[in-house]
């Protein structure tokens, strides 16, 4: 280890920004050097994407600049990560090779529409920031017909988000005065709306969307997409506008470095360590199994919590302390109703004997808290 230990963070999203700030808030630049690498130089809270679709936000008003990190003595490098060399402890980017003493992998999940034949040609990607304005414009033009919202792979980011999207789209169409002539159909490969949250919460979410005439179709495993047609393993459905949540995979460099099996994510446990010394992984790029087939959902709030755990463990090592932290698995996520209120799903993934989930009433207070959640992240991290 050189004089000042170097913490290198791959990815400047929820996990990367949370870890970098936690370490920098506790250790000065004479105690630790911190670098974040990301191919883009902005950060956006995931749910702002739905506000852009809804038309209450623009992209420019929803992002924070990663170039602001230098003010906190956190170095930022805007380059693509091409190789993770765990043997030689260095990272290759487009123009540089950087070595590390501690590595935090927070590269998120990659959307893989190419895995579904016909999807890119015939449908829109609800999670792709490049398509949000076009989706908004298409919705705005819609006077009648069928909208299909289709989850095309599990796990995907923020399990309640597609349901929230359907409710916000419903409210937009109501405002446009066309809701009675536009049908919204929701297709999921799962048997219930939110398998991770269990049957009771799933029923509540189903009631919520049904109350707005959004029709849920369970157990629809996608095979391919054709012009105006979804082909499932067990049937077909027509649409005029398809908003898809494509399958998610880990970035290619993760498979190349053998941190995860092809098609999977990096396995971690509650200390967020990988099998390599001083190499940690957090957030959507990981799989953290809780019990049997239940894993920690892919959500910013969990990436943030895991990142704080890793930051504490790295600081402990730098300061030659023996204590080590475990991720507590607690988090909450807001679901907007489309009627100027939101409810909060509170999750405790490691409660005994099994994970617990609670869904609160939908109130204006929770909607304010959601707006605050975004503001807080942008102002404290950047």
**Binding residues for ligand FAD, per CB under 6 A?**
11-16, 37-40, 46-47, 49-50, 80-81, 106-108, 127, 157-158, 161, 251, 253, 283-285, 298-301, 303, 333-334
Identify the DSSP state of 113: G
Min dist. Cβ of residue 177 to ligand FAD (A): 26
Asked if 90 and 82 touch (Cβ cutoff 8 Å), the reply is no
Q: What are phi and psi of 148, to 5 degrees?
A: -115, 125
Burial 234-259 (b: 16+ CB within 10 A, else e): eeebebebbbbbbbbbbbebbeebeb
Other residues' Cβ atoms within 10 Å of the Cβ of residue 220: 23
Min dist. Cβ of residue 165 to ligand FAD (A): 7
Q: Which is nearer to ligand FAD, 50 or 69 (CB)?
A: 50
Q: How far apart are CA 328 and CA 302, in angstroms?
A: 9
Min dist. Cβ of residue 302 to ligand FAD (A): 7
Q: How far apart are CA 316 and CA 311, in angstroms?
A: 8
Q: Which is nearer to ligand FAD, 226 or 256 (CB)?
A: 256
Q: Which is nearer to ligand FAD, 59 or 226 (CB)?
A: 59
Q: Which is nearer to ligand FAD, 161 or 173 (CB)?
A: 161
Q: CB burial class (10 A; 0-12, 13-18, 19+) of residue 322?
A: exposed
Alpha-carbon dihedral of residues 23, 29, 34, 39, nearest 10 degrees? 120
Q: Which is nearer to ligand FAD, 299 or 359 (CB)?
A: 299
Which strand ranges, in their side-by-side order, compose the sheet holding 235-238?
222-226, 229-232, 235-238
For residue 105, give every residue at least 6 positions away whose Cβ sits within 8 Å of its Cβ, in sequence order, or none: 10, 11, 84, 254, 259, 266, 274, 279, 280, 281, 282, 285
Asked if 24 and 34 touch (Cβ cutoff 8 Å), the reply is yes
Min dist. Cβ of residue 68 to ligand FAD (A): 15
Q: Which is nearer to ligand FAD, 12 or 64 (CB)?
A: 12
Q: Which is nearer to ligand FAD, 318 or 347 (CB)?
A: 347
Min dist. Cβ of residue 323 to ligand FAD (A): 25
Min dist. Cβ of residue 351 to ligand FAD (A): 19
Min dist. Cβ of residue 153 to ligand FAD (A): 14
Q: In whole angstroms, how far apart are CA 52 and each of 56, 151, 248?
A: 6, 20, 22
């Amino acid at each position: 280890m050189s004089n000042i230990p170097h913490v290198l963070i791959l990815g400047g999203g929820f996990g990367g920004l949370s870890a970098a700030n936690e370490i920098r808030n506790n250790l000065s630049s004479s105690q630790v050097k911190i670098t974040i690498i990301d191919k883009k130089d902005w950060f956006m809270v995931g749910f702002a994407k739905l506000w852009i679709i809804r038309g209450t936000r623009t992209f420019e008003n929803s992002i924070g600049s990663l170039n602001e990190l230098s003010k906190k003595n956190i170095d930022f490098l805007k380059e693509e990560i091409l190789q993770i060399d765990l043997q030689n402890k260095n990272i290759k980017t487009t123009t540089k090779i950087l070595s590390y003493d501690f590595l935090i992998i927070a590269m998120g999940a990659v959307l893989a529409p190419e895995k579904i034949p016909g999807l890119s040609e015939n449908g829109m990607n609800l999670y792709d920031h490049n398509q949000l304005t076009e989706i908004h414009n298409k919705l705005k033009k819609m006077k009648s017909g069928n909208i299909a919202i289709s989850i095309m792979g599990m796990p995907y980011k923020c399990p309640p988000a597609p349901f929230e999207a359907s409710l916000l789209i419903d409210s937009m169409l109501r405002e446009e005065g066309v809701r009675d002539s536009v049908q919204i159909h929701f297709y999921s490969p799962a048997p219930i709306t939110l398998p991770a949250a269990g049957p009771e919460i799933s029923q509540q979410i189903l009631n919520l969307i049904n109350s707005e005439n959004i029709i849920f179709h369970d157990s629809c495993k996608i095979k391919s997409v054709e012009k105006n047609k979804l082909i499932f393993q067990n049937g077909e459905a027509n649409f005029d506008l398809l908003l898809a949540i494509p399958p998610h995979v880990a970035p290619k460099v993760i498979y190349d470095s053998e941190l995860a099996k092809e098609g999977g994510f990096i396995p971690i446990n509650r200390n967020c360590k990988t099998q390599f010394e001083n190499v940690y992984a957090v957030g959507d790029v990981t799989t953290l199994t809780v019990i049997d087939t239940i894993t920690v959902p892919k959500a910013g709030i969990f990436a943030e919590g895991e990142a704080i755990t890793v930051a504490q463990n790295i600081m402990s090592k730098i300061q030659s302390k023996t204590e080590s932290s475990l991720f507590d698995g607690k988090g909450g996520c807001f679901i907007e109703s489309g009627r100027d209120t939101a409810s909060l799903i509170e999750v405790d993934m490691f409660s005994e004997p099994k994970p617990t989930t609670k869904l609160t009433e939908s109130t204006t207070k929770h909607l304010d808290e959601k707006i605050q959640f975004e503001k807080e992240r942008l102002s404290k991290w950047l």
